[in-house]
């Protein structure tokens, strides 16, 4: 008899499907596009500069794709020497490299100009985001199964979204947030709430203790947030 997939696997598969659906809807109806935009351009720009233009000074890439205007909003600055520099590290570009390579081969195969920003390249980054999201959730689930009991929870912040989350593309933010919420609700037992209460209890004790009060006052004086406990 074939083995039934675990609840966690089903949830992650559903999250991946939700991510694909959200990407199709968002970019078909142009609710937020293109996929490579804002500071994402700076993270990505290493690839066309290095692999298409063979020019890490960025001059060729900026001249072709940005009309010669340096995309300052994307994190491309000009050093004192006059050369352009990307303020973001190369890590994200390395992760995107396999998908960029596939998009580049497809572009060459159909006879289009390989400029790094055409539709094929744009959707390759969407595929990369969905792939890494799914692989990451699978790896996280495997780690939790080895280290913790099934009741360990993965949750979102209690109040609002973090500043970083506000900059996420909806094709990544929506499936990731939904996936973590579904993972918490279906793969985690009642001990999840017990763990949360235990953590809140520690914060409450820390805030009420003389040392905790002194630390809170000191943080307020220098403008840092203090630990808070939800009702």
Render pLDDT for 209-225 as a digit per residue (tens, 0 to 9). Answer: 555 556 555 555 555 55
Residue pair 127/79 in contact (Cβ under 8 Å)? The answer is no
pTM to 2 decimal places? 0.65
Q: What DSSP string describes 124-166?
A: HHHHHHHHHHHHHHHHHHHHHHHHS-TT------SSS--TTGG
Structural domain boundaries in the chain: 7-192, 193-231
Contacts of 188 (CB under 8 A, 6+ apart): 150, 151, 152, 153, 154
Q: What is the pLDDT of residue 26?
A: 87
Q: What is the pLDDT of residue 117?
A: 93
- Count of beta carbons in the 10 Å neighbourhood of residue 25: 13
Angstrom CA distances, 203 to 57, 153, 158, 213, 214, stand at 50, 18, 14, 12, 14
pLDDT at 60 over 80: yes
Q: What is the mean pLDDT of residues 88-100?
A: 93
Burial of 173 (0-12, 13-18, 19+ CB in 10 A): middle
- List strand residue ranges (DSSP E) for the chain, in order: 76-78, 84-86
Render pLDDT for 108-123 as a digit per residue (tens, 0 to 9). Answer: 999 998 999 999 999 9
Q: What is the mean pLDDT of residues 155-169?
A: 40
Q: Which of 89-93, 151-155, 159-163 has the least mean pLDDT?
A: 159-163
């Amino acid at each position: 008899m074939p083995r039934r997939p675990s609840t966690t696997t089903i949830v992650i598969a559903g999250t991946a499907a939700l991510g694909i659906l959200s990407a199709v809807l968002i970019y078909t109806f142009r609710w937020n596009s293109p996929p490579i935009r804002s500071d994402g351009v700076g993270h990505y720009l290493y690839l066309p500069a290095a692999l298409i233009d063979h020019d890490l000074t960025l001059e060729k890439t900026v001249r072709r794709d940005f009309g010669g205007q340096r995309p300052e909003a994307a994190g491309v600055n000009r050093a004192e020497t006059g050369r352009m520099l990307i303020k973001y590290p190369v890590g994200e570009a390395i992760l995107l490299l396999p998908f960029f390579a596939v998009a580049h081969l497809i572009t060459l195969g159909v006879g289009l100009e390989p400029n790094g920003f055409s539709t094929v390249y744009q959707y390759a980054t969407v595929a990369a985001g969905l792939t890494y999201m799914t692989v990451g959730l699978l790896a996280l689930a495997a780690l939790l199964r080895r280290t913790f009991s099934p009741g360990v929870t993965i949750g979102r912040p209690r109040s609002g979204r973090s500043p970083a989350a506000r900059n996420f593309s909806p094709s990544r933010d929506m499936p990731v947030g939904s996936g973590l919420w579904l993972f918490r609700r279906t793969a985690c037992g009642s001990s999840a709430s017990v763990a949360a209460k235990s953590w809140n209890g520690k914060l409450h004790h820390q805030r009420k203790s003389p040392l905790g009060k002194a630390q809170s006052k000191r943080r307020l004086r220098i403008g840092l947030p203090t630990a808070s406990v939800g009702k």
